[in-house]
Structure formats: C-alpha cells, structure tokens
A and B are shown apart, each in its own frame.
Chain A
Amino acid sequence: MEAILTASAVIPSAVHDRTTISCRIQRWNRGVCVSRGTECLEVVGFREKVCLPSRISVRRCGLARAVVHRAGIVNLTVGRVAEEGTPFPFLSNAGRKVMTNVSTILEKELSPLLQHSKIPDDVRHFKSEDGTAEGSVVIRAGKDSSQIDFVLESWLHATLPFGTLDIATFAVMLGPETDSPHFLFEFIQSGPSLVVVLDHLPRKDLVLDTDYRQRFYEAPGLDEIRKRFEEAPNSKPYISSVLFIRSVVSPTAVLYKLNAGTQVDGGGLEEQIETVVYPGSQKMIEAWIESFLTRGSSVSNVEDTLRRDKKIKTFAIEVDLAANLPRLFGQSIADRIVEAFRTEGRIKV
C-alpha cells in the first residue's frame, strides 16, 4: 500500500537549491525511516515543503493518513550534487553570490580583451576517483594587444575527514606592458570558518618605489576596504603559514579569517558573507578595474617585471597547486591542471 506524504521542515542554513534529502518521519509513536532522493519543491521562507512521492509501504491504510497529519518532525540530511555548468556549485547561496558578482564584473570589463578559453574539458571539470573531491579550473588568456596575461576562475570542493573544504579563486595576472597590480581573490571555507584573501598584488618593490605605493594603494584608499574586514565581528587577521605569500601581498591586503561566532547553524557566517565579504569584494574588484584602466603606466624595466611575475606564477604552481592537488585528486589530474596553468596564459611560464 502506498501513501503520499508531505511535510514542512526547517532547512539548515547554508543549503542551496538543488539538494537530495533523506527524511525520517515520525509516525504516531513509532519512527519510520524513509530514504529517498526527494527534491525540495518549494522554499517557503525558512521552511520547505517536502514532497515524498509515494513508495512508502505502510501496513494499514488508516495509519498512512495519520502519518500525513502527523509528519511534523523531519530530519533533513542534505546532500549536495553539483550540476554541470553551475558556477561555484558547492558554495552556500551567499558565497556563490559573492563569487558570481565578482565574476560578472570581471567579465563585463575584461571580456573584449580576452580570448576564448582553450582549457580542455577535463580541466574545466574534474573529479577524484573516490568521488570525494571535485573541481574546476578555467583560464582565459588575454589578447595580444590587451595588457592581460590571463584571467583564472577556479573552485575546489572536497569532503575530508574533518568536514568539507571549499576553495574558490579569482586571479587576474597582467603582462609587462603595464605596471598595474595583479588581482587576487580567494574564498576558502572549511566548516564554520572562512578565510578571505583579497588583494592588488604589487609589481614592484614598494620600499624602493614610493610613488607606486602612493599611486595604487594610498590614492585609491584601499586601506578603507581592509578596515571593514578588520572591524567585522568575529574576524581576525589571517597569517599564512607560507612566508612567500606574506611577502607577495600588498600592505593593504585583506587577509582575514571570519568565524561563525556564537550563533548556531553557521547563520552568523552567512550574514558576514552577505554584509562584509560581498561589498568588500565588490569594492576591491572595482578599485582594481579602475587601477588597471586608468592608473597603470608603462614599465621601465620589462625584464625585472617579467622575472618577478614569473616568480609569483612559479610559486603558485609549485607551492600552492602542486602541494594540494595531488593529495586531493591524484597525480594525473594534478599534472593536467599544472600544465594548463603553465600554458594557457598569454605569457608562458
């Protein structure tokens, strides 16, 4: 005998639209476990109407009806399935809004200056053999006349023993035709804490060239953006364990770790992402676009600039990518990605 059950349940925060739900429905005085791929049909505020289409075998008809009335307690275990093409599919709503906002701004301003991506499909989306990790790396090289080396957009999602890890990255590296800073944005969420790295990476030694510092960091008022993160509740400076990262960033870099605070459900963190990270990242990318379009000047020492940029790229490959990718995805996927990084920009490493 079959019955159709519907019930409302409170969604745990940080769930996004497409989910698989397994439910346990309390019935009269006994519990019945129902595990199924059920869809969220509609989100009603913070509640959700869950329709479990049939296929519960119930012993007595009358009882099934009672179950419908009494299906009050639903424990939702939310699984997440990435859909092909969804940008940043594993981030929460707030996180995805942040990243797609930055992506849209970059796309709008830089699209005419970029070639189409020549990234092979198996780098555009890849998954580890055991299925616990997935990722995507998309690189678009700049056109020859543009001053852009490449634009990189990537995300990683991994289920690890201690929880999930999500890393979303935007990087724009410029060529030696301009001395404008590079752009870096990393959004690293693991459990209830989020590390934000937002910076205009300098192309020069800021001690030697004080005009550079004035032009790109003081005049645009970048420290104001950093201060918003500093003054956000539950935020503390993030000190990278890698010395090179500490030296490559600018004096106004946003390097902060935000925590969920004392609120249950990580609700606090979602709010932080919406109120602090969203406007902060938007301001930072807009300031970067402006610097790129209006404040750059031609480089006096092309060789030195190329050398310096190469150091940054080599470091990213050797320390950042090559250290983390193999253990999450295995050596062959890691090699493919590193190869793409080396060759897909306008300026080869």
Chain B
Amino acid sequence: MEACLAANAAIPSGAIHGRITRARICHIERRNRRTAVYVGHGTEFPELVGFSVRVHLQIALRRKSEFARTVFCRAPFINVTVGREAESGTRFPFLSNAGRKVMTNVSAIVENELCPLLQDTKTPDDVRYFKSEDGNAEGSTVIRAGKDSFQAEHELVKLIAWTVVTEEVTLVECLKLCSLLAERWDVSCGVLQIDFVLESWLHAKLPSGTLDIATIVVMLGPETDSPHFLFEFIQSGPSLVVVLDHVPRKDLVLDTDYQQRFYEAPGLDEIRKLFEEAPNSKPYISPTLFVRSIVSPTAVLYKLNAGTQVDGGGLEEQIETVVYSGSQKMTEAWIESFLTRGSSGCNLEDTLKRDNKIKTFGFEVDLSANLPRLFGKNIADRVVEAFRTGGRIKV
C-alpha cells in the first residue's frame, strides 16, 4: 500500500536546489506513536517555501489507508538528509548560495562579453563531468577555445554569402558590404584573440572536511598583450582562499609602461585593498614559487576566515559583500583592459613562450595537483589532455 506524504522540512544551510537523493524521515507523529520511515531516492523538491521544502514521498505502508491519511496530516518532523548530486549543467553545484552567485556572476560577465569570440566547447562529456570511483569527489572542466581568424573569415564568408543570396544585392553593393563587414570582423576578430576560456569546479569529501575549488581562467593569444584573467575560489571548511588577478604577459621590471597601462591606470590596487581591509582576512602566500612569480603586483591573494561566528555565517556574508563585489570589479576591469588597452604584441615568439610556461607550470600543475589523488590517474590524465588540446593555441 502506498501513500503520498507531503511535509515541510527545513533545508540545512548550504544545500542546493536539486535533488534529495536520500531523504530519511525520522519520526512522523501519528496519533500518539512514532514511526521511523526510511525512504529511498530520487525525490525532488517540488517547491521551496522560504527555507522549507515540501517533500513528496512515496512510501510503503503496512497499515490501512485511513492510517495513511492520518500520517499524511501529521508529518511535521522530517529530517531531511540532503545528498548533493550534481545535475548535468548545474553550474558550481556544490558551492553555497553566496559562492555560486559569485561564480555565476563572473561567468556571466565573461560569457556576455566574449561569447561572439568563442567557439562551442569541444570538451568531451567525461571531462565536462567526472566522478571518482568511491564517489567522494566530483568535478567538471569546460573549455571553450577562442575563434581563430580562419574561422572568423569562414563565418564572414558565410555571412556575406547569405546576405547576397537573401538580399539580392548588386555586385557593387556586395563589394561594399564585404569591405564593411571585413573591417568590422578584422577589428573584432583580428586583434582580440582569445586562446581559451576555462570554467571548472571540484568537490571532494576529505577526512578533514569538504573541499571546493571553483576556477575561471581566460588566456589570450599572442596577438594582444592584454593580461590573462585568473579567478580561483577555494573553500575548505570555514576558510576561503580567493585568487583574483590579471596575469601579466611581460616582465614588469623591464616594461614599466606595461605596469602603468594595465595595473596603475585601471586602479587595480583599490580592488586588492578591499580584500586586505576585510575583517578576518590575511594574505595568502602560495606554497608554489611559480604561482608567486606569475601573478601581478596587484593580485588579490587572500584567505578569508569565518571569524568567530558559528555556522560559517560570517564567511557567507564576506562572500556576499567582499568577494562578490571585488570579483565583479576585477572581471569588469579585465574586460575593459582586454577590449581597450591591449596592443599588438611586438614579440610574438617571446609572448608565446611565456604563455606556454604559464599554461604548463601554472595552470596545468594547478589542475593536476589535486586530480590524481582525488580522482585517480585515468580521470586526471583525461582532464589534463583536454586542457592541453582545448585551447586555440596548442601547448
């Protein structure tokens, strides 16, 4: 015999929209007796009511239907153990609300501005989502390569052809249109060339607690000397490490104009100061010397702690106020640098060499630092391979 129960349950903080994979209803008050009912999987949150959720369950009951109806009315105590299952396509599914807002905000800004310049992702499905064998760790890496001028030209040709066919233009008009379009494409595609945009997240349950790493990286090609963009959000337990930077393409000691152009004029140090002056924040000194040498002088490298408040509530607040606005400002400043302050690289070879170093010793090492021990060698190799081949410029 089956009965449908609906009850309100309080969502533990930090839970997400999605599925309850395991809901255990612990005592349901029934007349005067309590029964523990264990319920299986795949139950959905149909609606979120404030901080409660209405749970619809199908449970097997031994007794008679009338009893079921009683149960239905009197199911006030529900302990909902929320398992977190990443849904394909849910972005940053394991972060808290505040953390996810931060990451999706930055992701949206980057997406908005750069979408026309990016190809569709060719990342294989088993890199777009992967899970360790023991189920303790999950992750996702999505890489979108920038369009190259060949593709841009290809699209330009398609656009012209379509215009000619549909608009029935004369030859003269067609030529004029061609040159206009070519000019526009040249401006938007010839100079502003992206290598790739990477978005990834990792979630792992470790003996010491949970670890969440969310990353957004934009690397540019040698056609422009604008800095790369790096954003890492690393939360483990009650502390959060934020890495936010415009990664320089040149030796700043040798090229003081570069420093002036991309770091002093845009006032990036003000953004760093926001983090410096936040309560419970202290500078984060990376254990890897290479990471210390690639970041810029105005890099945000800070560790925020929950402070003395219970529940990590203090940290959520920090994320909403400091990290959200700081990351937004930094991303917007980066977009502006990318669109308006870059100039054509004069030394393509050197720039390529340097970028390769950053890719291999910086980002690749960063990615593969955690992957093998959390996911095993197979998955780690797959992800690193996707990283190596996913950009416009191969390593």
B-contacting residues of A (Cβ < 8 Å)? 204-208, 210, 213, 217-218, 223, 230, 236-237, 239, 243-244, 246-248, 250-252, 304, 307-308, 311-312, 315
Contact = CB atoms under 8 A, between A and B. Distances in A.
A159 B37 CA distance: 78
18 contacts: A205-B250, A213-B290, A213-B293, A217-B289, A218-B289, A223-B289, A237-B283, A239-B283, A243-B259, A243-B269, A243-B298, A244-B253, A244-B256, A244-B297, A247-B252, A252-B289, A304-B254, A308-B253
Interface in B251-282: 251-254, 256, 259, 263-264, 269, 276, 282
A308 B254 contact: yes
B357 A207 contact: yes
B294 interface: yes
A197 to B, nearest CB: 15
Given A243-B263, A247-B297, A210 B253 contact: no
B289 A251 contact: yes
A213 B297 CA distance: 18
Contacts of B353: 208
A248 B263 contact: no
B377 interface: no
B149 to A, nearest CB: 27
B39 interface: no
Contacts of A315: 256
Interface string B343-377: 00000001001100110010000000000000000
B141 to A, nearest CB: 24
Interface residues on chain B, size class: 20 to 34
B334 to A, nearest CB: 17
A223 B283 CA distance: 16
B277 to A, nearest CB: 12
B292 interface: yes
Contact of A246 (B256, B297, B354): B297
A237 B251 CA distance: 23
A50 B357 CA distance: 67
A308 B250 CA distance: 13
Contact of A311 (B256, B296, B350, B358): B256
A205 B251 contact: yes
B290 A208 contact: no
Interface of B: 250-254, 256, 259, 263-264, 269, 276, 282-283, 285, 289-290, 292-294, 296-298, 350, 353-354, 357-358, 361
Main secondary structure of the interface of B (DSSP, over half): helix
Contacts of B357: 207-208, 210
A202 to B, nearest CB: 8
Q: Which 6 A-B pairs have the closest CB atoms?
A: A246-B297, A251-B292, A205-B251, A247-B252, A206-B293, A243-B297
Contacts of B252: 243-244, 247
Contacts of B283: 237, 239
B253 A247 contact: yes
A223 B294 CA distance: 17
B358 A207 contact: yes
B254 A237 contact: no
Contacts of A251: 289-290, 292-293
A167 B6 CA distance: 73
B294 A207 contact: yes
A308 B251 CA distance: 10
Given A239-B276, A243-B269, A251-B292, A208 B251 contact: yes
Contacts of A213: 289-290, 293
Nearest to B355: A207
Contacts of B297: 243-244, 246-247
A205 B285 contact: no
A307 B254 contact: yes
A252 B353 CA distance: 24
Nearest to A203: B253
A9 to B, nearest CB: 42
Given A243-B269, A246-B297, A246-B298, 13 more contacts: A205-B251, A206-B290, A207-B294, A223-B289, A230-B285, A243-B297, A244-B253, A244-B256, A251-B289, A251-B293, A308-B251, A311-B253, A311-B254
A243 B264 contact: yes
Given A230-B285, A308-B253, A311-B253, A247 B259 contact: yes
Contacts of A208: 251, 350, 353-354, 357
